[in-house]
Chains A and B, each alone.
Chain A
């Protein structure tokens, strides 16, 4: 497709279970970002991938969170042993490199609810 695609759009899980969220960026975009947005809040940066460089993981809130990007394209955000405070919308965005002077293209997000 032409835009950033995220799946699933909605995920309900039980506390303690692991979840995987997928992001398929725009073809040709080498930079990929994950953000988290809690209800009515701003965006919290989680992780950033740029080409083959080591990702910037400085925003990951705990070691339960991890992400990978295979083949410089699709990315998966994994949350292990989910907690109720993990409930949020997880947004993925991609951009051309370099970012300076560029814009981010966002997906529609994956809404995670941890019961």
Chain B
């Protein structure tokens, strides 16, 4: 399966701390995306990093990609209670197929 896996499965931190989530995948990719899902809602796109990029920033988000290790990390700095959600990585492969394969998610809880 091409599905990615996030690590850890669950993470609980205090407001103001940084949160780091990791994603590993199995095949060569064209790009990797991170999505956020609030409980009982749909997914919202956060950031996309291409296979030829190593790091990308968007506001309080920092994403890294290591294609040699087939892994990515999502860092949320200065976390807020409103960041509480599940975070998923999704990979688009190089075969030309247009599917996005999602990981199993990290459940982040930010304690006020």
Binding site for B on A (CB under 8 A): 4, 31, 33, 35, 41-43, 45, 48, 50, 56, 59, 91, 93, 97-101, 103-109
Contacts of B50 in A (CB 8 A): 101
A42 and B100 contact, CB distance less than 8 A: no
User: Chain B: interface secondary structure?
Assistant: strand
Interface size range on B against A: 20 to 34
B43: interface (CB < 8 Å):
yes
Report the bound CA distance from A45 to B1 in whole Å. Answer: 11
Contact with A along B34-63 (1 / 0, CB 8 A): 010000011111001010000000000000
Q: Across the interface, do B98 and A50 meet the contact criterion of CB distance under 8 Å? A: yes
Write out the residue numbers on chain A whose beta carbons fall within 8 Å of the beta carbon of B97.
56
Contact of B42 with A4 in the complex, beta carbons under 8 Å: yes
List B63-111 residues whose CB lies under 8 Å from chain A: 88, 90, 92, 97-105
Q: Decide if B102 touches A43 in the complex (CB within 8 Å).
A: yes
B-chain residues with CB within 8 Å of residue A104 when the two chains form the complex = 35, 43, 45, 90, 100
CB of A25, distance to nearest CB on chain B (Å): 13
Given contact pairs A4-B42, A91-B43, A48 touches B98 in the complex (Cβ within 8 A): yes
The answer to whether A101 and B42 have CB atoms under 8 Å apart is no
Output the nearest chain A residue to B98 by Cβ-Cβ distance.
A99
Contact between B42 and A42, CB atoms less than 8 A apart: no
Contact partner, A100, options B3, B92, B103, Cβ 8 Å: B92
Please tell me which one of the listed residues A41, A97, A105, A106 contacts residue B104 in the complex, with CB atoms under 8 A apart: A41
- Out of B31, B33, B88, which one reaches A43, CB within 8 Å? B88
Beta-carbon contacts of B1-16 to A below 8 Å, as 1s and 0s? Answer: 0010000000000000
Do A106 and B100 have beta carbons less than 8 Å apart?
A: no
